[in-house]
Amino acid sequence: MNPDPNMIRLRLITLFTFFSLAAFAQDDLMKMLEEETEKDKKPDYATATFKTTRLINGHSVENVAEGVLDFRISHRFGYVNGGAYELFGLDEASMRLGLDYGLTNRWMIGIGRSTYQKQYDGFTKYKLLRQSSGTRVMPVTLSAIASMMYKSLKDENPDRENYVTSKLFYSGQLLIGRKFNESLSLQLMPTIIHYNLVQGVNDPNDVFAIGAGGRMKLSKRVSLNLEYYYQLPDYKLPGTTNSLAIGVDIETGGHVFQLYCTNSTGMTERTYISETTGNFFEGDIRLGFTISRVFTVKKPKH
């Protein structure tokens, strides 16, 4: 019996279609495997080491994202041991207004104005290393900060020759942070503060300090923060104490609300690291808060 030509054609078409589909399926499968392999090659970066760009007084390793503007209002009251006459510090207050902006996801800049000593400040912060696991293991996040401060108070002795540079101060910091788990993050902050002009002949122009701080997550939106700066005794201005601060971060939608207590009056590196005079454990404690509100100014290109 001769085979039906139409049946032969149908079988050939079926076999051709089957092998074609199998080839396409194999190509799609290989493409998917390649994409998964590429994903596996990318390091897994740590995120949300801290809730905001500030630990309490000082910076954290966090940055604002590219194109994001962070408007910060910091308010600090007087010493609580002022008693009822001073309404436990509420009669006295100082504040700082600040604007921070993300040039990239790793580089941010900022400016601010403090009522304390009528001080202006500006800074730049760059994230040099990012904590990661997977194909690239990096145990810590490392950021570098350079800042400049200008005290615009009127000259104490206007009759003598005064220079603008005498009111300028500089600081440099390295921030070394690590997120150990979802609840605990720690950070070290080696710091140098430079004074163009000091009060006493024997006062150091450079103050060296080591800061340490951390965050303990209490809930999804609340964390407990601690921050301490130790000044090296041989590089310390006379009559000053070390800065200590304890605070709570509360995340509420588009902004983070920080409540804290500290023995520091100022809110820039020079004033809280090298010019704190209050003793925290003797009641020289100032209550304060910071409100942070972020705005997307420019959408990133990628």
Domain containing residue 236: 44-154+163-296
Distance CA 276, CA 24 (A): 71
Q: Say what the pLDDT of residue 95 is.
A: 93
Q: Per-residue pLDDT for 15 more than 70?
A: no
Kindly state whether residue 226 falls inside one of the protein's structural domains: yes
Distance CA 206, CA 194 (A): 5
Backbone angles phi, psi at 149, to 5 degrees: -130, 145
Which tokens belong to 39? 């994903």
Mean pLDDT for 50-70 is 93
Q: Per-residue pLDDT for 21 more than 50?
A: no
Mean pLDDT for 22-30 is 53
To the nearest whole number, what is the mean pLDDT of the chain?
86
Q: Is 9 left (phi over 0), alpha (psi -120 to 50) or beta?
A: alpha
Residue 134 is part of a domain; what is its CATH number? Answer: 2.40.160.40
Q: Say what the pLDDT of residue 25 is.
A: 47
Q: Per-residue pLDDT for 28 more than 80?
A: no
- ∠ CA 123-228-291, rounded to 5°: 55
For residue 199, what are the CA distances in angstroms to 237, 274, 279? 10, 13, 22
Kindly state whether residue 39 falls inside one of the protein's structural domains: no
Q: Say what the pLDDT of residue 8 is.
A: 55
Looking at residue 202, what DSSP letter applies? Answer: T
Kindly state whether residue 50 falls inside one of the protein's structural domains: yes
Distance CA 287, CA 74 (A): 11
Distance CA 194, CA 205 (A): 6
Amino acid identity of residue 6, one-letter, is N
Band of residue 154 on the pLDDT scale cut at 50, 70, 90: confident
User: Bigger pLDDT: 169 or 11?
Assistant: 169
Band of residue 224 on the pLDDT scale cut at 50, 70, 90: very high
Mean pLDDT for 13-37 is 53
The HSE-up count of residue 132 (CA atoms within 13 Å, CB side) is 12
Kindly state whether residue 29 falls inside one of the protein's structural domains: no
For residue 44, what are the CA distances in angstroms to 53, 78, 132, 136, 139? 21, 45, 5, 8, 12
Band of residue 127 on the pLDDT scale cut at 50, 70, 90: very high
Kindly state whether residue 20 falls inside one of the protein's structural domains: no
Kindly state whether residue 302 falls inside one of the protein's structural domains: no
Distance CA 285, CA 77 (A): 9
Cβ atoms of residues 118 and 96 within 8 Å: no
Band of residue 2 on the pLDDT scale cut at 50, 70, 90: low
Q: Per-residue pLDDT for 13 more than 60?
A: no
Which tokens belong to 237? 């201005």
The pLDDT > 90 percentage for the chain reads: 59
Q: Say what the pLDDT of residue 24 is.
A: 47
Cβ atoms of residues 104 and 96 within 8 Å: no
> Model confidence over 168-218: pLDDT tens digits?
999 999 999 999 999 999 999 999 999 998 888 888 899 999 999 999 999
Q: Per-residue pLDDT for 48 more than 80?
A: yes
Query: Any residues with CB less than 8 A from the CB of 183 and at least 6 apart, and which?
Result: 216, 217
Q: Say what the pLDDT of residue 201 is.
A: 81
Number of domains in the chain: 1
Distance CA 116, CA 118 (A): 5
Distance CA 94, CA 271 (A): 13
Q: Say what the pLDDT of residue 157 is.
A: 72
Q: Per-residue pLDDT for 57 more than 90?
A: yes
In terms of C-beta density within 10 A (0-12 exposed, 13-18 middle, 19 or more buried), how is residue 269 classed?
A: buried
Q: Say what the pLDDT of residue 192 is.
A: 95
Mean pLDDT for 69-93 is 89
Kindly state whether residue 207 falls inside one of the protein's structural domains: yes
**Cβ atoms < 10 Å from Cβ of 190:** 13
Q: Say what the pLDDT of residue 10 is.
A: 53
User: What is the Cα 278 distance to its own chain's centre?
Assistant: 25
Kindly state whether residue 11 falls inside one of the protein's structural domains: no
